[in-house]
Each structure stands twice: as C-alpha cells, then as structure tokens.
A and B are shown apart, each in its own frame.
Chain A
Amino acid sequence: MPKNPDIKKVLVIGSGPIVIGQAAEFDYAGTQACRSLKEEGVEVVLLNSNPATIMTDRDIADHVYIEPLTVEVVEQVIEKEKPDSILPTLGGQAGLNLAMELEERGFLKDHSVRLIGTTSRTIRRAEDRLEFKEAMEKIHEPVAPSKVVKNIEDGEAFARSIGYPVVLRPAYTLGGSGGGIASNQDELDEILANGLRLSRVGEVLVERCIAGWKEIEYEVMRDGAGNVITVCNMENIDPVGVHTGDSIVVAPSQTLGDKEYQMLRTSALNIITELGITGGCNVQYALKPDTFEYCVIEVNPRVSRSSALASKATGYPIARVAAKIALGYTLDEIRNAITGKTYASFEPMLDYCVVKMPRLPFDKFITARRDLTTQMKATGEVMSICTSFEGALMKAIRSLEQHVDSLMSYDFSDLDDTMLHRQLRRVDDQRIWAIAEALRRGFTIDGIHKATQIDTWFIDKIAILVNMEKRLREEPLTEELLREAKRLEFPDTVIAQLTGKEEKDIRLLRTGYGISAAFKMVDTCAAEFAAQTPYYYSIYDGTDEAGEVLYADSRQQETVKQENTARKPKVLVLGSGPIRIGQGIEFDFCSVHCTWAFQREGYETIIINNNPETVSTDFDIADKLYFEPLTPEDVENVVRTEKPDGAVVQFGGQTAIKLTQALMEMGVRILGTDADDVDAAEDRERFDQVLGRCGIRRPKGETVFTAQEAKEVAGRLGYPVLVRPSYVLGGAGMRIAISDDDIDQYIGEINRYTQEHPILVDKYMIGKEIEVDAVCDGTDILIPGIMEHIERAGIHSGDSISVYPASDLSDKVKETIVSYTEKLAQNLHVIGMMNIQFIVQGEEVYIIEVNPRSSRTVPYISKVTGIPIVPLATSVILGKKIRDLGYEPGLQKEASYYAIKMPVFSFEKIRDADISLGPEMKSTGECLGIAQTFDEALYKAFLGAGVRLPKHRNMIITVRDEDKEDIIDIARGFDRIGYRIYSTHGTWKALRAAGIEARQVNKIEMESPNLMDLILGHRIDLVIDTPPQGIEHQHDGFVIRRAAIETGVNVITALDTARALITSLEDNSVENLTLVDIAKL
C-alpha cells in the first residue's frame, strides 16, 4: 500500500516537559518521526511545550508551537493551522490523552481531522481496563485476574478463586499506603481491613500476585495491511514489582528458551492484531519462572521509553517506521535505513548483548527512600553493548557517572551476614552491589536467588565478575588473566586498584601484550547483510570493524571509495551521558546541533554517548556513533581508532568538560576555548585574578578544603554563606549555610565522595539574578538576550522561572552586563560558548559564576530569539568571526514579546524527597510560555507546567518569619480573586494584622482538624510554604509539603514564585491565549 495522498498536513503532539516517566525518549521519537514525515513531503505542525527539545526546532517541523499542552491549545492550533491529520502516538501518554480527549469531544470530526497511526477505538481498547480485559479474553490471552472489593467477605471469596498470594491495593491512599501482599487468609483479613479503612472510597483492588515472575517486554510493529513484526524483546533482571524504567534490563532475553520466546512473541503479535494497532506498540508480560504460565501486564499502543531503548539496542528506527506506517506505507515498502538493502519487514537479530541501567536521582534527594517499586523514579538511563553480559554490565555501571566503576563501588562489607541477607531482600538501586558482596562472602547462588528472585543466570554472571576481582587480587597478572579481565570489561583503574599497581602500569602491560579494544558494528542483522550505518560498540575479544581492518571484495571497494571522498577533517563530539537532574536534554540539543554544524562545515563527525533516550544517539545524526561509556579509557579507545583532528567538549555538559584533560593527554586538540582557560574560570584563585584584571566584582568568598577553614571564612564574611564544591553542574552539593553546624553537615555530605577539588564558601547576596549566554570569537561577543530569574539568588538557576527579555533593567545595567561579558570573554580567551550569571543590586552588577561552555538555557534562548547559537558557536570554534557570520556583535535587539521558561518538577514520584527549593537543582524539566505580554507569557508558562488555577479557591499559606512582611501583598492578591486562605497561627496573625481575612488552622501535630486534614480533604488548590533556611528544617513543613505533592496539590516554596503566580492569575485578559509560531519568529 503506497502512501495515502490525502495526508498533506499533520499535527504532531509532543510530550511536554521532562518529568520522571516521560523523558527525552519522546524528543528522540518525535524528532525522528517529524523528519520521517517531512522526507515524505508532508507539512508538519508541531506542538510541544518543552523548549529544550530538538523536535521544537524550526528545521524539524514547518510550524512549531511551544505552547501549553492543553485541550484548548490543541483546538486553537487545529483551528489556526487546519491540519488534515493528527499523529498522536509519538508524544507519550500526554500526547495520546490529548488526542483522545479531542476525539471524544467530537472536535476532530467537526474539523475533519483524523487520527493517523492508531485509531481512537484501538487506543481505548488498549487503555481502558475493562475493554482491554475483554479484548484479551476474546483471543484467550491471560491477564492477571483482579477485582475491586468493598468488604472482607468479597475479598476472601475472590482470593480463594484466584489463589494466594494476592496483592491488595487500596484506592486513593497516599503513596499506595495500606496495601500489601497477603499469602493466606489471615494476612488478607488484616491488610484488607486496614486498606478499606484507609481508602477514601472504601475500595481495595485484589489482584493475583505476580511479584517475582520474570518481566519480559516485546516491542512490536504492525502496518495497515496487517503485517506484524517483533523488533526486540527484553528481559528485566529485576522480577515483576520494579517498574521497567527502574529495572536493569537486558536485550534480547537471556533465560528464555525458544518455546517461551515464541510463545510470548506470538501472543504479542496476536494482541496488536486484535487491537488493530498501526505503528509501534509495547507489550509487557509476567512469566512464571517455573511453568509456561504468563500474563499480559500492560500494552502501550504508542512509542514508549522501551521502544526508544529497543530502537537503540537493535538499530531498528521504530519511530521513523511508525510515522511511515501512519502515512499508509506497509512494512515491506519501507527500507531498512541501516542496511539500505533490506526492508522494515524483518526482525532485527542481535549478535551482542545489551544492558540498560536506570539513572536514579537519590544523589539529589538524599532524604528519599531508595526503594524501587512500580512507581518509576529514574530520571534517565544508560545503555551499553558488548558480546558478553558481564562486559555489558560493567560498561553500563561506569556509564552511570555516579561514582561507580565496578561491583565494588558500594561497600556493604560492614554488614554482618544477617544484615547483608536483609539487604539482599531490599529492592533498591544498590541491589546488584549487595549481591556481589554476598557472593564474595560465599553466599550460594541459590540462596541469593531465593532472597532476590533474580534469575540464577544473572547471579552467576555477577559471580563471574566477583571471581575476576578475586583473581586480580590474588593471582599474578599474567597476559591470560589481563586479557580475560579486559574481556569482562574491567577498566584499567579497577584492575590497578585490585592488583595494587598504577593505572599507567596496566596500560603499559596491555600495550606490551597487544590487548586493545576493537569495535563491532550494530547492523540489525547479525552481519547477515553488509550495513551502511556506522554504529559501533567496543569489545576486547575480536577484530575491529571500525578502523582499517577489512575483509573482502565489496568492503575493499568501499574503502577505496572512502579514501577518495574522505580526507575530511574529523571531529569528536562528546555527548552528555544519562539524563539527570542538573544535566538534562538541553545538552543533547547542543551536542546534536554542534554535530550538524560541523557536518555543514565539511567535517566528518563522531559522537560518543551512552544514553539510549536521546536524539544524539540516533543512527543518522553523526557520521559515526560510538555507544560507549564516557570515561577517559573508553574515550581513548575511540580516539585511537578514529584519530580525530579535534574534539569539542563545550556542548556536552560537565560530562564532556571533565574529559578535557584526558583528551589533551591523548594528544587530541580541544577545539574552542582552551582547557587552561576553562580551568581559569573554575579555579577560584585564578578566576579572582581574571576578575581583578577586568575590574569586576563578585560576592566575597574564599576557597577551602576543610570544615574548619570554611567556618573561619564564614565567620569573616558573616552568615548566610553559600557552600559548594567547585567543578560541578546543576549546583550539586550547593547549600546555604546559616550556622557553623550547617557547614559541618554540608561539608560532610560533599566529602562523601572523593573530593579532588576545593570547596567554595561565598557570601550569600540577595539581588536580581541575571543570566546570559554568549558566543565569543576571541574579539567580539554576541549575546542573544538577557534573561532574568524570577526567584532571587539562592534558588538554583535551573529551578528558577527565567524571563526573556529581562524586564526592568536600566540601560546602564545592561551596558555593564555586556561590557563585563566582553571583558570576561576576552580575558578568559573564550572561543565558542560561555554562560554567565550575575547578581544585580540596584545599579551594581556582581558576577556569580562563569562557565566557558554551553548551558541549560541555550536551547530556550536560541528558540525565542531565533538566533542559532550552537551553529554560530561551532562556526566560531572553526575560526570564523561573528561579523563574518552576518551578525553585529554585542547584545542583540530585544524581542517584542516575552518568553518565560518555567521549571517542572517530579516530586510526586520520589517518596520522601524534600521539595523545597534551594541552591541545589531539583527540577527535571521545563516548559515555555511565549506571548506579547508578560502576564500572558507567565500564565502560559504556569499552564504548561500543569498549574491550572483556580479550582476550589482554597489555599494554605505558612511562611517563615522573615517572609511575613512580603507575603502580605501576595495573600491580598489571592484574597482579591476569591481565595479562602488557611494559615497556621504565626502567618494567620500577620495576615489578620494586615487586614486580610484568613482562617486559622491547627498545625499538623495538633488535633484535628489540622493542616493535614485540609490537604487530604482534596479541596485545596495551592500551598505556599516557605521553609526556614538551614538544616533545622521543621519536620512539620516537610510532611505538609509531601502530603500536598502526593495528593496533587500545587506547592510553592519561594515567595517570588508565588508573586509571579498571583500576577498571572490576576490578569483576566489572558483567558484567550494567542499562539506563536516559533518557526516564523
């Protein structure tokens, strides 16, 4: 079936801001799909509120709307752009829900817009619990039996019919509390009684317990003609009970025989056929480990995080193919872009093993529970490829960039055997390290299997790694042993540590024995066909395919061809690794644009990255893709093979910057700002010298190494002070200290990890926080625009609402900012990107920090000013001058509209995480509000972040003493728009004194009705709670904020945010939103 000629203009809905569970994978999928549609001559309209994505670039779609993802906005876009179709299956659950709502309202029919890809009926059948169950029963596919009960008797009867153990889940309780697993009737009675009491509606779901079963996923595709294929299957190492996004996952499945593999494959294909899916789909199974029994857990009728992983694991571009299918093509008409020879109607065959590990945010939320449950907590993930499972696991571990490089990185040696056994039973992010320790102690594989339910095959693999540790520790390091250690992907650093040698000795030994990494290709077909797309992974036990080793005739011709055309200079672009708080998708945006810019300049581009969710690891972004950990040793392997003419580190966040020194030692030229100048910006003393030369002031501060020194400095400066480690990103470890005790605690936390760099202690200044990104060519600078943070200094810039253009800066201040930027650029010899944060007090401008690299705000400011900063910076890096590129240096003309970047958080996903904002970054994503007026832009930004007010017009205000004055105006504003304000005693008194009607409510530890009852009553729109500074934060406030977040109440912890919110709510004129097409700016 050829392309449907009626499809001419398609609306693609993105997934909005990055939150836990809906992350960069949808930028990857959306970007690939948009490019796939455009390649077919289709006009693409894109709607996504997330400005940090590649998909919202003007060259990805024809019309780009970075607007809030609400039904009203989609309707407006449809009315304005009049697309004939919507492709709803590429924007995650958010996009799918929107499309479904429009369809159900009849809006799509009224406007003659059709859903392409999968139909609404199919989506309903896959997503509606009851309809799904019926569909599965029709084709005899088992689902875990479950029933909602309202009393003990019904619960007992149902449990008897399905057999124990059963899972009990009370409806509408905080964080699933009151639920549990019952193995017999006594336990059932107890848990059920409690659950019924706790549930707001008196209902408990009783479900067949499949915890401990193997969790298996299939990624499948179906076209409009009914052709079906499996792209990949995956096995979760953690059995059912841990969200697959938090599991260590291996592809393909390792412990399934062909009978089980085909049984589930056939089931998955039968399911998508019955549901009538056209496009990609994910089916999750629980497979009983000791029989062939299985049940379908879930079907996602869209591309998902797992499909992004499957795409990267196999090389099969699911989103690209899904988009083509939506246009009417059949699988056998779509070429396999990897081989260029075969078609999309085949199943990828892997000749390697893929391991995915989650990147969990517990380093940011140290109060949070580390337990892994069915609620996903990971912010990102890493993927690794090797010919052995052991090797892939070792590579994945060191790709995490969490101070882990082996199975020895978390130390459980101080636990006694009983405690260790207990630790094994804990399902958390450190479990494989606990297993390794248990194996070192001689726990049996079967015993560990019983405690963890993890398949013995995986435990045996960990045992092989543990055994290698032992051999390295005890045996002489022979060639054979070293070779085997490298085959198992032990990094040189770990081998050195275990053998008591130096890393350089290990390297010398390896050179002597000729043990070096070789690269193999990911080609979708296990080498059955010659592939054209160079996508590589390293191994230690085979020949190289990436370098010059060539086998036979056709390859030789290719090399000759390459040699004729080649001779292009080669550039290495270092990616930014897993998405984590503080280093998000923005850096992938920069890496990709930098790569494209180099390609346009005639360079051969090579990307190294390990993040399967991103655009940068798509097979057709760079000329060559190396899917590898970003450690010096792994990067050196690539460097040795590729011999690049230079490397760029300024676009890959701190991950890439950290590799600068190592790259220089390998003899790779760093393109752009010199490493020494990067150091001058990061090293406090050298930086102070630079500031001195430029005549620029900064908040007073000093560099220290110990808590004692820090306290002395704080004494001189006067509290409050900012304490932070140098060389970090996202404010990691940064705190405001108001006492010596705080300093002791913070420095203790910072020093938990090896601290190679000094600690900075600065006077904490309150003022207007200003940020600029600039491109510098050595002489001139270009500032696309000045951004202002709504929240005052003290809250991490990534968590602040950012306004462009900065609204009320005097011309003199602006001139000072430009002149400081110019001086700093010249004195730091910046070539390329730099980011500067200032504090403005009155007309005085102070500098907070300078980062001679690309920043988080680059995608946002590029989009809203229309100035392609990354390509410009890339040209500058290659020696061009700003003036030659068609730009007048200096601050560019201010836009005639406002663009506001709003941080978005995922607090509800992380149990026990403190949500109050401070110098350490906590947001996971961002959205944009863009409009002619400040108020409308702000309103849109809040809307995009999911703040839809007013609803019930009830709110709670509790503020710390120093905020009692400032809260008055804010409270008055809410009072004016009809809010009923509840406050605890102190705030209540302050509000009453100012003549604002507020109701007093008991503190949480006092009798009911108290604050907690109010929150749990589900009638509260908003909580404004400003926690006292310092560590002695009240337990009270913490509990209130958590309770509010977990019940879906908006919580604001900074007065500036509250002020912004009431400003936007008070302006009635912004009811009707005006749309802005970014591509036409």
Chain B
Amino acid sequence: MGNAYLILEDGTVFCGKSIGSQREVISEVVFNTSMTGYLEVLTDPSYAGQALVMTYPLIGNYGISIEDMESSRAWPDAFIVRELSRIPSNFRSEDTIQNFLQRYDIPGISGIDTRALTILLREKGTMNGLITTNEYSKAQIEDLLPKIRAYTTGKVVEKVTCAKKYEFTDSGDTVPQPSTVGVRNELSEVMQRELYSRHFRVALLDFGAKRNIARSLVRRGCRVTVYPAHTSAEEILNDRPDGIMLSNGPGDPKECTQIIEEVRKLYDSDVPIFAICLGHQLMALATGGDTYKMKYGHRGGNHPVKDLKTGRVYISSQNHGYVVDVEHIDPNLASPAFSNVNDGTNEGLVYLNKNIFTVQFHPEACPGPQDSGYLFDRFLMMMNSQSAS
C-alpha cells in the first residue's frame, strides 16, 4: 500500500495510505458521523460529486452485504477513513470493503486523523480537496489550489438518475424491517392492514433515490413506478398515480432548473405528494421558496427533528448540504412541519390547501434510525383521503 494524500483547498495536506482505486480526483469533502452503515452511505446517490469522510474510525468491520446497497453502485468520488478492518466479520458478508472500493473504482485514503479533518471542515466549512497518490511538492500544491477551489458538483442529478421508467417490486424483506406494531406508530394495526391492502400506485421521481424509499412503499402494498429525473410532469400525471414521491438526490437544488419547472406543475395538480431531501428542496424552490448552502451540512444518523404540530422529537438519518430557507417561506403557501432541534433549520413543510408534505431528513433510514418511517404511512393516508374525495 502506497501513500495517498488529501490536499484541501486551503492548502492543508493529510497523508495516509492509499485504498481502493489509485485514481486522482478533485471533489467536495464532506463528513458523515454514522457509526454503522458505511455500505448504505457509499451507495447513497446523494454523495455523488463528493468525497466522503467517515468520522467513526473503524470501517469495514462487518464486510459487504450486497443486499444492503442503496443503489446499484458506489457514488462518492473518494472515501476517507481512519482505519479499514483487516477482516470482515458478519454472517452475511460477501466481500471486503477493500475489494468493493476497487470494484467501483473509488479512490480512498486510510490512516489519516479523520477527527482533525472533521474539525477543520466544521470550522472552515465544507471544502474542496484533491485525493491523489502523487506526492506533490509545495510549489506544485500551490499551483493546484486554484483548480481545487474551482470544483463544483454541477448538474449531478443527471448522473445518478435512472435511464428509463421501470416498476420497482423489491420489498427488501430479506433484512429485518422496523416493527410496524406498537404505540410508536401512528396507525392502528387494523388501519395499517386496510391501507396496505389498497395497493396505491406511486410515481417515484428518481433524483438519485435510495432504494429503501421505494422498498418502504412496496412493503406498504404500494405499486411503485420509478421515473427518470427529467420526466415531464405531464407524462407522470398521464399515468394517473395515486401519489407522487420526490426522492433524495445530490448537488445544489438550484442547479435543477428544469426539474423545478416540472415539480411546479406537479404542485399544481391535485395528486398527493411526499418529498424527501432534494425533493423537499425542489418543491420549496418550485413554489417560490429559497435554499442556501450550509456551512458543513448535516450528515449522520443522530439528528433530532421536531414535529412542530405534536412537539415530538424524532432522531433522523440525514444527508444534506443545502437547506430550505425558513425565512423565505410564503406563510400563505406552506408552513414548517419539522425543525432541527440543534440548529433550528427547516426539516419539513406542509403545503397549505394541498396534499403535499415534504421533509429534509430521511424517513427511509438505511443507514440510521427508523423512527420516522411512520411518515410513509402518513403518505398512504394522504393518498387514501384524496381517493376518497
């Protein structure tokens, strides 16, 4: 194993060992604080265009279980860890993380002080960086910095969305599902059975969707059709879905100008809409709202979000660098439904006089807490009341 280097746009250099591909890459460096779920994180399309730092130091302990992948491949431009496990140990493990990174040609670095790096990103805000196995001189690094600074993720949704429309049928039942009984659920068991047997037809707009969004719907009896990101509103509406799901995805929402126009048309329809993460931001932009880039984002599995109606706090899985500006929400159009307990940022919106509900966090979990999975039930209720009316 040779050396590998991370050169940040402020000139800081971290040196470690090369893992995965030896490819040189410039990307936006972000950190994730999840202690488990590195495979789900690696295969989350929202990380496209970013180099990912795991703050948890021991990665690869339980190997790779293909069924846990959240999409068909790994997406980050690079993967930065403190230590990769020498052997994986788990009854489902089919491969090592070392091989996995090789297979998807993801370059990476192990053996660096990820905590020091994280503090730097926290204090200075998200930075771009160059990941390389070349040892550059000081002067060469100086020359590289403008190029590193110039990097933007760009129109990255196009890279991650599906090529064409398809039916999604996998319920992911080979792994344990969160219990749908008990008092932590909003629906009674009877009501659940009733709604799940309705087999609602859901159109899922794929901006880089994690599989468990579709799986969460399939498990609730829904028939899910996945559409490429640039499908026109007309085409979707023509298929007469009972509900529309706007997925998560990578990049700056404002780059998605075309998509925003189509989302606006979806807003104008009467079809119930549930949106997650990028979908939530796009709906806000489509209805005159604004988004801005956070200093270093929310990425991890421990973020508390408060349901502003009930006062209940849920621990959520999150992955976003942009956020909807709560100051610019037209109170006649939408009202905040969730907010982040730590920093007060917006975590969800309900659209007034509409069957539209959007959240910034990830109720589909994978990785992370399953606490807000009940929101999919809420989506089913929306579809139910709409079809009743």
Binds A, one of B142-150, B241-249, B295-303, B320-328: B295-303
With beta carbons under 8 angstroms apart, the residue of B40, B86, B120 that contacts A552 is B120
Least CB distance, B185 to chain A, in whole angstroms: 9
Tell me which of B72-80, B224-232, B257-265, B365-373 binds A.
B365-373
Shortest distance between the CB of A336 and any CB in chain B (Å): 9
Is B37 at the interface (CB under 8 A from chain A)? Answer: yes
A341, A350, A457: which contacts B35 (Cβ < 8 A)?
Answer: A350
Instruction: Evaluate contact between B178 and A262: CB separation under 8 angstroms.
Output: yes
Interface string of B67-95 (1 = CB under 8 A from A): 01000000000000011011111111000
Which residues in chain A, 219-241, are within 8 Å of chain B measured between CB atoms?
Answer: 225-230
Does A529 contact B368, Cβ atoms closer than 8 Å? Answer: no
Question: Which residue of A has the minimal Cβ distance to B35?
Answer: A252
What CA separation (Å) do A783 and B313 show in the bound complex? 56
Q: Are A225 and B312 in contact (CB under 8 A)?
A: yes
Interface bits B47-69 vs A (CB < 8 Å: 1, else 0): 00000000111100110010010
**Which B residues lie within 8 Å of A346 (CB)?**
302-304, 315, 341-342
Encoded as 1 (CB less than 8 Å from any B CB) or 0, chain A from 268 to 299 comes to: 01100110000000000000011110000000
Known: A388-B83, A542-B113. A349 touches B33 (CB 8 A): yes
**A-contacting residues, B11-52, CB 8 Å:** 31, 33-37, 39-40
Nearest-neighbour CB distance to chain A for B208, whole angstroms, equals 19
Tell me the residues in window 93-140 of chain A with beta carbons closer than 8 Å to chain B beta carbons: 139-140
Q: Does A351 contact B (CB under 8 A)?
A: yes
Report if B116 contacts A (CB, 8 A): yes
Query: Chain B residue with minimal CB distance to A271?
Result: B182
The DSSP consensus for interface residues of chain A is loop
Q: Taking the nearest CB of chain A, how far is it from the CB of B54, in angstroms?
A: 9
Knowing A226-B312, A258-B367, A457-B85, the reply to whether A526 touches B118 (Cβ < 8 A) is yes
Cα distance, A640 to B155, chains bound together (Å): 51
Are A457 and B179 closer than 8 Å at their CB atoms? no
Those of A510-547 within 8 Å (CB) of chain B: 520, 525-530, 541-543, 545
A345-B367 contact in complex given A259-B68, A351-B118, C-beta closer than 8 Å: no
Residues of the B chain whose Cβ atoms lie less than 8 Å from the Cβ of A266: 178-179, 369-371
With a cutoff of 8 Å between Cβ atoms, the chain B residues found around residue A185 in the complex are none
Closest to A226 in B: B312
A353 at the interface (CB under 8 A from B): yes
CA distance A438 to B87 in the complex (A): 19
Decide: A351 and B55 in contact? CB cutoff 8 A: yes
- In the bound complex, residues from chain A placing their C-beta under 8 Å from that of B312 are 225-227
* Across-interface contacts of A527 in B (CB, < 8 A): 55, 115, 118-119, 122
Cα distance A47–B334 in the bound complex, in angstroms: 54
A254 near B: Cβ within 8 Å?
Answer: yes
Asked whether any CB of chain A lies closer than 8 Å to the CB of B164, the reply is no
CB distance from B237 to the nearest CB of A (A): 36
Residue ID in chain A nearest B41 by CB atoms = A258
Known: A139-B182, A255-B61, A262-B367. A225 touches B342 (CB 8 A): no
CB of A971 closer than 8 Å to a CB of B: no
**Complex contacts, A330 vs chain B, CB 8 Å:** 311, 313
A267 to B, closest residue via Cβ? B179
| Cross-chain contact A457 with B57 (CB below 8 angstroms) | no
Cα(A254)–Cα(B58), bound, Å: 8
Contact of B37 among A253, A258, A345, A388 (CB under 8 A): A258
In angstroms, Cα B58 to Cα A389, docked, is 8
Question: Which of A274, A345, A529 has its CB near the most chain B CB atoms (within 10 A)?
Answer: A345
Given contacts A255-B61, A257-B68, A527-B115, contact A273 B367 (CB under 8 A): no
Instruction: Please tell me the size bucket of the interface on A.
Output: 35 or more
Q: Do B181 and A139 have beta carbons less than 8 Å apart?
A: yes
Is A265 an interface residue, CB under 8 A from the partner?
A: yes
Expressed in whole angstroms, the Cα–Cα distance for A226 and B370 within the complex equals 16
A915 vs B376: C-alpha distance when bound (angstroms): 62
A951-B111 Cα distance, complex, nearest whole Å: 66
Residues of the B chain whose Cβ atoms lie less than 8 Å from the Cβ of A445 = 87
Q: How far does the Cβ of A248 sit from chain B's closest Cβ, in whole Å?
A: 16
Instruction: Establish whether residues B369 and A349, one from each chain, have CB atoms under 8 Å apart when the complex forms.
Output: no
A263 within 8 A of B: yes
A520–B304 alpha-carbon span in the complex (Å): 25
Report Cα–Cα, A258/B311, bound state, in Å. 28
Query: Which residue of B82, B342, B370 contacts A387 across the interface (Cβ within 8 Å)?
Result: B82
Q: Verify if B176 is at the interface (C-beta below 8 Å from A).
A: yes
Q: Which residue of A lies closest to B67 (CB)?
A: A259
Contact call A291/B367, Cβ cutoff below 8 A? no
B268 within 8 A of A: no
Q: Which of B58, B92, B113 has most A Cβ within 10 Å?
A: B58
Contact A270–B182 (Cβ < 8 Å)? yes
Smallest beta-carbon distance A295→chain B, Å: 14
Query: Would B36 and A258 count as touching, CB distance under 8 A?
Result: yes
Partner of B61, one of A290, A343, A457, A520: A457
B223 at the interface (CB under 8 A from A): no
Least CB distance from B107 to A in Å reads 21
- Asked if B235 is at the interface of the complex by the 8 Å CB criterion, the answer is no
Residues of B within 8 A of A292 (CB): 175-176
For A386, the closest partner residue in chain B by CB is: B57
Interface residues in A449-503 (C-beta closer than 8 Å to B): 455-457, 460, 464
Complex Cα gap A258–B36 (Å): 5
Least distance between B30 CB and chain A CB atoms (Å): 12
How many angstroms between the C-alpha atoms of A292 and B177 in the bound complex? 11
B-side contacts of A225, CB under 8 Å: 311-312
Interface string of A418-448 (1 = CB under 8 A from B): 0000000000000000000000000001000
Q: Please state if B300 and A349 are interface contacts (CB–CB under 8 Å).
A: yes
Min CB distance A188 to B, Å, is 28
Interface pair B184/A273, CB less than 8 Å apart: yes
Chain A residues whose CB sits within 8 angstroms of the CB of B303 once the complex forms: 346
Specify which chain B residues have a CB less than 8 angstroms from the CB of A257 in the assembled complex.
36-37, 39, 62, 65, 68, 90, 92
Q: Is the CB of A526 within 8 A of B33?
A: yes
Is B114 located at the chain interface by the 8 A CB criterion? yes
Is A352 in the interface zone, CB < 8 Å from B? yes
Q: Judge whether B83 and A456 touch: CB under 8 Å.
A: no
Known: A225-B312, A349-B300, A528-B300. A270 touches B120 (CB 8 A): no
Is A291 a contact of B91 with CB atoms below 8 Å?
A: yes
| Closest beta carbon of chain A to B294's beta carbon, Å | 12
Q: Is A751 an interface residue when CB atoms closer than 8 A count as contact?
A: no
Q: Does residue A555 face the partner (Cβ distance < 8 Å to B)?
A: yes
Which residues on A sit within 8 Å (CB–CB) of B90?
Answer: 255-257
Which of B68, B123, B370 has the largest number of chain A CB atoms within 10 A?
Answer: B123
Question: CA A352 – CA B83 in complex, angstroms?
Answer: 11
Task: Check if B36 sits within 8 Å of A529, measured CB to CB.
Answer: no
A619 to B370, CA, bound (A): 31
Contacts of B88 in A (CB 8 A): 457
User: Which of B82, B175, B342, B368 is in CB contact (< 8 Å) with A341?
Assistant: B342
A962 on interface, CB distance cutoff 8 Å: no
| Interfacial chain A residues near B119, Cβ < 8 Å | 527, 545, 551-552
The answer to whether A140 and B304 have CB atoms under 8 Å apart is no
Does any Cβ of B come within 8 Å of A347's Cβ?
yes
Q: In the complex the two chains form, what is the Cα distance from A139 to B185 in whole Å?
A: 11
The interface of chain B, by Cβ under 8 A from chain A, is 31, 33-37, 39-40, 55-58, 61-62, 65, 68, 82-83, 85-92, 111, 113-116, 118-120, 122-124, 175-176, 178-179, 181-184, 300-304, 306, 311-315, 341-342, 365-371
7 A-B pairs within 8 Å (CB atoms) are namely A257-B36, A257-B39, A257-B92, A265-B369, A349-B301, A457-B85, A541-B111
Inter-chain pairs besides A254-B58, A257-B62, A332-B313, 19 sampled, C-beta below 8 Å: A227-B314, A254-B61, A255-B61, A255-B90, A258-B36, A273-B182, A274-B182, A332-B304, A341-B342, A343-B304, A345-B304, A345-B315, A347-B301, A349-B300, A351-B57, A387-B115, A460-B89, A528-B122, A552-B123
Nearest first, the 4 closest Cβ-Cβ pairs linking A and B are A552-B123, A258-B37, A542-B113, A457-B89
Binding site for B on A (CB under 8 A): 139-141, 225-230, 252-263, 265-267, 269-270, 273-274, 289-292, 330-332, 341-343, 345-353, 387-389, 445, 455-457, 460, 464, 520, 525-530, 541-543, 545, 551-555
